[in-house]
Structure 1
């Protein structure tokens, strides 16, 4: 019997677009948005930030030097974080699952600035019983330790859980640990698959 539903955050619970960050930085830089993406999001620095290994101020300083920009930290925070939007239909799914008594866990590769912004702007986060966030625990998906931590914190066996992510590779890691997984494509597809797994959802 399914007891715990584990959600990915980005492009499942919230939509996001990293190119908005790149476009924001490019407005103040001689680099194009594509350059910023290639040199930034493919860098070790961004991965270290997502795993909590460097502070937000250090990320700001690195970006300022790397892309030769002169902006305030407040401007940087806005560029970095205002990239998310909510699909009301997925919020209803999360709310229904909560109402029906499932233990809800959010597992995300995210960082301090992003999650501070998300927590302050999207009430859906308050529906989750536990948050497993890469920058807090020092691991990021697809490392299996992030899934083991979710199981432990939920006090659930793998077969009692469903993991939902838009990235097939991450779902495969969960499956290898015995966790039921759903590769997210749409709210309608998600509801259908949850029902097939015996989850009580309206």
Structure 2
């Protein structure tokens, strides 16, 4: 087994690791088809304003008024919001893996993710992420979003840990690289099998 510094804390992304991505390009494409929206227009308006929503500086209603309901629509805002929530699906094997590691090794677990408040809270509660996570350093709570290194610095402060004590798991290589630049151990999640094997190299072995 490879030798690594003692890991006391896992920092995890949510989208692409524990759950499907939230309001991503595929979901917006599906929404455009379902609600007969102009996809290029939706995409342009989304990219102009979504970062502000993820930083907690807009409500979901405000985001939707800028991106969808800037003109009359034959459907309600409630129907569109319900669709946005409905596209999330869990990755059960990854949730189970993290829960087993938490139970066996009693380590701290923190979420470090980019998400707007309403979507974030729904996804966390709906799929029980709050039942095994100790801290949520979400962009909508701390007003920094990845790849801004300050979101990881805040996470280190809140968890009261040194960078070398942390293993950060994300499906996006850029975010892993930024965390590693702060001295945090990084692991890019690609598949359940690969992540389980890599966690075992850090001493976290579960059946």
Q: How does the TM-score come out when normalised to structure 2?
A: 0.88
Unaligned runs of 5+ in 2: 1-5
Would you say how many aligned residue pairs link Structure 1 and Structure 2?
A: 199
- Once superposed, what is the RMSD of the aligned Cα atoms? 1.9
- Please list, as runs of the form range in 1=range in 2, the aligned pairs for 1:1-202 lying within 5 A after superposition: 1-16=6-21, 18=24, 19-32=26-39, 35-36=40-41, 38-43=43-48, 45-66=49-70, 69-99=73-103, 100-202=105-207
Unaligned runs of 5+ in 1: none
Query: In the TM superposition, what is the alpha-carbon distance from 1:30 to its structure 2 partner?
Result: 4.5
Q: Is the 8 A contact 1:164 1:182 kept in 2?
A: yes
Q: How does the TM-score come out when normalised to structure 1?
A: 0.90
- 1:162 and 1:66, CA in 2 relative to 1: closer, same or farther beyond 3 A? same
Query: In the TM superposition, what is the alpha-carbon distance from 1:113 to its structure 2 partner?
Result: 2.1
Distance 1:105 1:189 in 2: 21
Give the stretch that moved more between structures: 170-179 or 124-133: 124-133
